[in-house]
Amino acid sequence: MKNALTRTVAFALVALSAASPLRRENFREVKLAALRGGGLFGAPSPPPLDSDEDKALYALGCNVGRQVGDLDCFSSAEIDTILMGTRDVLTRTEPRVELPAHLPKAAELFKARQQTQMEATEAAGKAAIAAAAAEEGAVQTETGLVVKILVEGDGASPAPTDTVRVHYEGKLTDGTVFDSSLARGEAVEFPLDRVVPGWSEGLAMMKVGGKAKLTIPPELAYGDRGQSTIPPKATLIFEVTLEGIIAAEATAAADADADADDAPGGGADDDVELDV
């Protein structure tokens, strides 16, 4: 919640400076999906994505939208209104309302919507955990993680510090896919001590060659803060195939490369940070 309110204040500061040239740091704070498709700002239809430049701009909009996932507590029509204000700031158009009078109300509205969304997300997560635990063959651990082995592997089980190679798909409780190595067509390798606790615990209960469904409560995932398109308090549902455990010498080499590239240690956020 603190993160969201900080972002709201930053948006307000940018809006109040609309009459002056936008500074680089202010533009980075706005980061809203101004290229979002649909009948936005009265456009009769989404713009065509014919050229590579059009597609690149659309990709930029998608990336920006993921970076302000906090705004998903608003409806589609409300987001259009938010984006109207953002567009006015970016195009240096005179604000259509008295900003000092309405920004405090905006912060209150944002906080209330986020709280409502968080409560609904948490309730849906608890229902999903209960349903998963009731499935035949499922095991719920003391931490609250629910593991159901779909295909029994015949290899070794990874240790907490091992690097593993997996294929997976992650969904929210409403079925929304937020990350998928299957869609990318390439398995992923990562150390188990650099991912969310639910992954570390769940993979340790699998064997190489096996496939499992992991239902991970928010306490073992991204908790109150969320991550990119994953909302706060979200329960995550993964189907994971454990393809292999990487040899120690290969792991050491991969760690050295990761340190050299300052790579993140894992997680669900695949956003590309564009320095705009």
Q: What proportion of the chain, given as a percentage, has pLDDT over 70? A: 72
Q: Give me the pLDDT at residue 47, please.
A: 79
Residue 228 and residue 163: Cα distance in Å, rounded?
A: 24
**Under-70 pLDDT residues of the chain:** 1-45, 69, 247-276
CB 159 within 8 A of CB 135: no
Q: Give me the pLDDT at residue 276, please.
A: 34
Q: Give me the pLDDT at residue 45, please.
A: 65
Residue 236: name the closest of 136, 129, 140, 157 by CA: 129
Extract the tokens encoding 258: 């990761």
- Could you say which of 3.10.50.40, 3.90.870.10, 3.40.50.2300, 3.40.50.720 is the CATH number of the domain covering 135-261? 3.10.50.40
Given its phi and psi angles, is residue 185 left (phi above 0), alpha (psi -120 to 50 degrees) or beta? left
Q: Give me the pLDDT at residue 86, please.
A: 85
- Mind listing the pLDDT tens digit for each residue in 5-55? 444 444 443 443 333 333 333 333 333 333 333 444 444 467 788 899 988
Residue 16: name the closest of 80, 78, 104 by CA: 104
Kindly tell me the sign of the dihedral angle through the C-alpha atoms of 85, 87, 90, 91: negative
Residue 177 and residue 183: Cα distance in Å, rounded?
A: 10
- Mind listing the pLDDT tens digit for each residue in 50-79? 899 988 988 888 887 777 767 878 888 888
Q: Give me the pLDDT at residue 257, please.
A: 54
Cβ burial, residue 154 (10 Å; 0-12/13-18/19+): exposed
Query: What residue ranges do the domains of the chain occupy?
Result: 2-116, 135-261
